[in-house]
Chains A and B, each alone.
Chain A
């Protein structure tokens, strides 16, 4: 059984290779033909999806075998001195899950784009980028070592940049693309340092080898004060996810990234790329596990803070895509703190369910924006449910899923995270998570009630989107409903995807229905509050705003983080730059110019000796020979005293 599957798993490299081939085909061959470009791209990703499904089935049928023995097939890529880097694929439940999620969302988004991007001038370019993105993301998921992962990590960053700035004629899109690229670069620098540090210390970047070294015979040495090597490495590696997955100080790029086409936001900035950071932490979990507990506590704390921070901002936003963007940030925080509190399976489970329902909601928002002719303010919408029934119903499923209402997908994953947080001894984080769940339910229902219910606006003439857009919505809605049921069977999601330190028996907690009840209650409370405010209008939203104008303003302006960064850049970095500029102009350039002046001055003087008079030259030559002769003949002693080498004792 396992042997046959083994052969299948060896072909996993085709999954990223096919979209890459499609990227090359579109870029070099079919660029001029719109129909061909999209067909090639969609066929490639659908084939990959088929293979991913086959692999997932293979993993499920292999059972416990694959959990303990991941299938790694790799070829040597480069071998310089001691540096040996492989390129390969690793198939274990974690990568299998990611393959399925990425392929599914990517293919849905590409089909959806047939409708959404209809008539766009950059059609072929769009599909080329989409294929490149799918290929890099899948390659990253399958990476067997940190360097391979880092290469694909940067490639998805590049695709994100290209797709955010897809409508490059818009200044805001260009600026957002640059911001995204540079902000994530800050984190990537830390990640690169971490990779180098790991390499110098352990001499390998292979996940399996690193894990074996850390598990078996590693003596951790204190490096700075109480911080050990492994702890420093863990913090450095974590910087990458902070940038990529939009954790607190580097979250600023994600809301701006909404400048890209909406399907791109669904694919890259909700479902797949932004969870790359979470995936990396999960892949490197052994590192965090062996580091000082403070590393995981930091991950948990930062995640929980990001979760509640972003959720509170989302309450006061009016742009449909920005609400979803902050919701994404908040849910990414959820996944991070789940990892931090040791809920590895819960985090990955939430990653999967979130990918389904958040991609669904983004595509739903895209459908709305398409129908509203690019209006994005939820207050300009209203009563869309009747006009766009499919979008409305699927969006409703998304809202239910993210709010954690059973039996939708979000319920199971969120519940598992919260239960683990409480059971692993993190009551504060549990509280924050619960409150975030309440906020999430509130702002998502607010979005839904304002945009889809209520009175219709006479100036809008919305109509249901074409089939190419609604079918992906329905498929994703299906997964948003049933995705969570993976937690139910005996050999459930957590049975396959879990962290297995060496010599530990894995035990999985069953669903704690009491705790689940509390989190469902928090979700329903949020929905109910939104219902009272925005449907019944029992409490006027304006009066709340009027009561707390400061807080509302603070939230609406996203806690002024962007402004703070601008201030820092303008005054702190700008001031420093001015000082350095002065230093460069007057000191560095002064030294360079000074050397040049001295050379020129001495040359001006010395060139007078070059008279062009043959006889002068001959005379100088002759007398120099005479002097040297005299010195040799009469002054052996004087000569050695003149010799600089002799004074140094180099010549006898």
Chain B
């Protein structure tokens, strides 16, 4: 068995990313618990990170760019940093809401309606 033939292609990574993203999306739409929704958002962000890194790896062409490029990695790192900040703010909001309303159910988060 030639292991080199078993190398994983770009589309595999993109597929994984898309699946993760869809899972996250489903979570955002369907979950009732705000913490679960925040976790789903993290899933979606990580799906994007996978795409970034995969594109960076496969689109690099040794013949054109002599040095290995890091654009995708940097973007992924950036997303991770932003996600961390977002979670900090998000969880702070959740705690405040919970203290005031004794709920984490998004269906009850409707006091901004008409």
Contacts and interface: CB of A to CB of B under 8 A. Distances in A.
A612 interface: yes
Contact of B25 (A607, A611, A613, A622): A622
Contacts of B114: 607-608, 610, 612
Nearest to B106: A614
B65 interface: no
A612 B113 contact: yes
B6 to A, nearest CB: 32
A70 B37 CA distance: 93
Interface string A260-295: 000000000000000000000000000000000000
Contacts of A612: 109-114
Interface string B26-45: 00111000000100000000
A618 interface: yes
Nearest to B28: A618
B47 to A, nearest CB: 14
A613 B107 contact: yes
A614 B31 CA distance: 11
Contacts of A619: 29
Nearest to B114: A607
Given A607-B114, A608-B114, A614 B109 contact: yes
A219 interface: no
Contact of A615 (B106, B111, B112, B113): B106
A622 B22 CA distance: 12
A552 B114 CA distance: 79
A613 B29 contact: no
B37 to A, nearest CB: 8
Nearest to A604: B114
A619 B25 CA distance: 9
A607 B113 CA distance: 8
Contacts of B109: 612, 614
B97 to A, nearest CB: 12
A607 B111 CA distance: 14
Nearest to A611: B113
A612 B111 CA distance: 6
Interface string B76-114: 000000000000000000000000000000110111111
Interface residues of A, number: 11
Contacts of B111: 612
Contacts of B110: 611-613
Q: Which residue of A607, A612, A619, A622 has the most chain B CB atoms within 10 A of its CB atom?
A: A612
A618 B112 contact: no
Nearest to A606: B114
Contacts of B25: 622
A154 B76 CA distance: 78
Contacts of A613: 106-107, 110, 113
B27 to A, nearest CB: 10
Nearest to B41: A618
A610 B106 contact: no
B40 to A, nearest CB: 10
A614 B28 CA distance: 9
A285 to B, nearest CB: 75
Nearest to A619: B29
Contacts of B107: 613
Contacts of B106: 613-615
Interface string B42-73: 00000000000000000000000000000000
Interface in A370-398: none
Contacts of B28: 615, 618
B113 A610 contact: yes
B74 to A, nearest CB: 25
Nearest to A613: B110
Interface string A618-630: 1100100000000
A608 B25 CA distance: 25
Nearest to B107: A613
A622 to B, nearest CB: 7
A157 B30 CA distance: 81
A20 B28 CA distance: 81
A619 B111 CA distance: 19
A619 B112 CA distance: 17
A611 B28 CA distance: 17
Interface in B8-30: 25, 28-30
Contacts of A622: 25, 29
Nearest to B30: A615
Contacts of A608: 114
Contacts of B37: 614-615
Q: Which residue of A613, A615, A619, A622 has the most chain B CB atoms within 10 A of its CB atom?
A: A615
Interface in A574-632: 607-608, 610-615, 618-619, 622
Contacts of A618: 28-29
Nearest to A612: B113
A182 B37 CA distance: 76
B38 to A, nearest CB: 11
Nearest to A603: B114
Contacts of A607: 114
B103 to A, nearest CB: 13
A377 B113 CA distance: 82
Contacts of A614: 37, 106, 109
Nearest to B111: A612
A560 B114 CA distance: 68
B108 to A, nearest CB: 10
Interface in A454-486: none
A614 B29 CA distance: 9
Given A607-B114, A611-B113, A612-B111, 5 more contacts: A612-B109, A612-B114, A613-B106, A615-B29, A615-B37
27 contacts: A607-B114, A608-B114, A610-B113, A610-B114, A611-B110, A611-B113, A612-B109, A612-B110, A612-B111, A612-B113, A612-B114, A613-B106, A613-B107, A613-B110, A613-B113, A614-B37, A614-B106, A614-B109, A615-B28, A615-B29, A615-B30, A615-B37, A615-B106, A618-B29, A619-B29, A622-B25, A622-B29
Interface of B: 25, 28-30, 37, 106-107, 109-114
8 smallest beta-carbon distances between A and B, as pairs? A612-B113, A612-B110, A607-B114, A612-B112, A610-B114, A614-B106, A611-B113, A615-B29
